Structures are given as C-alpha cells and as structure tokens.
Amino acid sequence: MKPIVLLTCTMVLTLLFSGTKGAEIFLEWNVAMDWNISPVQSVQPVITINGMFPGPLINSTTNDNVHVNIFNNLDVPLLMTWNGIQQRLNSWQDGVSGTNCPIQPGTNWTYNFQMKDQIGSYSYFPSINFLKAAGGYGPIRVNNRNVILVPFDKPEEEYDLLVGDWFSQSFNTLPTTNTPPDAILINGKAGSNFESFSVTKGKTYRFRISNVGSAYSINFRIQSHQMVLVETEGSYTSQIALDSLDVHVGQSYSVLVSANQNDADYFIMAYLTQTNITTPPAGISLLHYSGSPGVISGPLPLGPNPMDKDFSVNQAKSIR
C-alpha cells in the first residue's frame, strides 16, 4: 500500500501547487511629454506613456512576473512606483527615492517584480520631481487565479477610473505656489469632455476607483445608483452599500454598481472633500445605459458636506 499512498500524496501536492507559478508579462513603455492634450485647455506639458494619458492598464493575475522596460524621454530624471504592490525582499524595484536610482533622461531601466499572493486594484505613477502632477499614471489590476474564489458574482464588465486633482500650471512650478486645483480629472478628462461608461439594464459592473491626485481627497458618487463596496487595495471587504465614497490620495477601491434604473444617462461625479475651498472643482463623467436616448436627467448628485470630517472618518471605520 505504501506506493499507492506515495502516489496519492504526489497527486495532491501537484494539484495544490499547479498553477501557482505566474505568467511572464513583458511591457515596453516610452515616457514622454505632450503639449497638445490640454486637459484644462491651458498650454502645459502632460506626461504620456506610449502616447497615452492616462497610461496603459497593467492587467495581471496573482503571482505573475511583470517586466516593465521604461525609456525616459523626458528632460528630467524619472522614477515609477507601483502603489500598493508588495516588493518582498525587492524594495529596489519600488521606484521611490532612496531605494531606486532615477532613470536619467535618454536612458532606460527595466523594473522586475511579482504580484506575489496579491489581488485587487492599484495604480502606478511617477514618484519624484512633482511629475505625478503632470500625469504619467495608470491602473493596475491583479486578478485572482482560477483556484481562488471571488466573493461576488462575476460582473458584466470592469472599468478603471483614475480620479484626481489637476492644476493648470506646469508641474515644475507647483512647489513654489499654494493654489487650489483647477479641475478634477476622471481618466484624464475634465469639463464637457466627458468620459462615458456603457452599461446594460439588469447587469452589474465593477468600477475600480483610484485617487491619483497630488493633494486632495475626493468624494465619489453616481446619480440615482448605490454602490456596493467589495475590495480595497488587495483585500476583499465586508460588502456595504454606499451612496458616496471618500477616496483619499493614493487609495484604490472596487465597487459593484447594478444598472437598475431606467434607460438614460446618469452623472458620475467626483468632488473635492475635506477642504474649505470656496468653489471647489468637480469631475464629471457619464453612466450611459445602452437603451438611453442620450439625455442626462436631473441635477448633479448631491453628496456630504465637504467639511464633514466625521462622515469621512466614520465611513473609513465602517470598512472591514
């Protein structure tokens, strides 16, 4: 019987450890300045990655090995950090000053890191020289391996929302001023240049929200829709229904949104919070139902008082 026992153990171990080795993801990024994007209709440099602003999605799965070869076409040194990705015994790949030498203009560097035992929503961005205020950021997804269950039904589709404050002045003058932001960008867009997210009535969608701003917290809400919080920065949460969600600088959340309203267009809104700016800017995009006639109904959705610190603190404490 011993050979049979050994064979059974071998089969069990094979099943347990099969698939734990991740895929190899190779990316090549050209980071450059673009003077023609003008998110707030002012002449200013915007950092693009492979011509994109925001940058491309890193779509990975737990235990994948990611290799990002970055060519710095800027005229200043560059470091890219992978916000929330655990760099186990690997801190020199984290792209922050003191652990990583900057990529000098006209040179390149390859970051190598593993999404080791992680899941969830994250973002990346430049970490030095106030470059983040000029862009260069983008979304990261770490999906579950098939053998790990997700505590909610698979959504119809997933959307990445990169939300943050934006200034009309150039990034290299920000350290010498103390001006409020001129806009809140949602996926690099502001004003009447709406980003639109398409949904079908009766379906549920996952929105991965990251605050990629430089200084300000935002309150996020969707007109006539509740959100169910399901994940934050790599941890699945107790599912709670929310009318609005405070997202502070550097934070990422996932919410589920059920398309359970009449076919129409609805406002998605990001509003500055925890600030006493007299007329704070708002970021606006659209939730577009497939059967919508293209008409936006009603006023902008109201949220909590921007100076209501108790609301923000109590909401954070309620997340488990």
Tens digit of each residue's pLDDT (9 = 90 or more) over 126-170: 999 999 999 999 999 999 999 889 999 999 999 999 999 999 888
pLDDT at 96: 92
pLDDT band at 177 (very low <50, low <70, confident <90, very high): low
Residue 9 lies in a domain: no
Smallest CA-to-CA distance from 242 within 209, 272, 265 is with: 209
Domain limits at 313? 157-318
- Do 117 and 181 fall into the same domain? no
Strand partners for 289:
199
- Do 178 and 130 fall into the same domain? no
pLDDT band at 13 (very low <50, low <70, confident <90, very high): very low
- Do 167 and 291 fall into the same domain? yes
Residue 13 lies in a domain: no
Q: How far is CA 114 from CA 4, 35, 40, 89, 128, in A?
A: 37, 34, 37, 11, 23
pLDDT band at 268 (very low <50, low <70, confident <90, very high): very high
- CATH code (residue 99): 2.60.40.420
- Do 135 and 177 fall into the same domain? no
pLDDT at 194: 86
Residue 248 lies in a domain: yes
- Do 132 and 190 fall into the same domain? no
